[in-house]
Amino acid sequence: MASPIVIGFRHTGIIVKNMKESQRFYEDFLGLVVMQDYADESKYINDVLGLSDGKVHMVKLKSIDGYIIELLEYINHPTDFTNLPFFNVGSCHIAFTVKNADQMYHRLKNAGIEIISEPLLSSDKTAKVFFCIDPNSIRVELVEIVKC
For the chain, give every domain's residue range. Answer: 12-74, 93-145
Res 73 pLDDT > 70? yes
Class of the 12-74 domain? alpha beta
Whole-angstrom CA distances from 117 to 46, 47, 86, 105, 114 are 40, 42, 14, 9, 9
Work out the mean pLDDT of the chain and round it to a whole number: 90
Out of 1-15, 44-58, 95-109, least confident range: 1-15
pLDDT band with cut points at 50, 70 and 90 for residue 90: low
CATH number of 93-145: 3.30.720.110
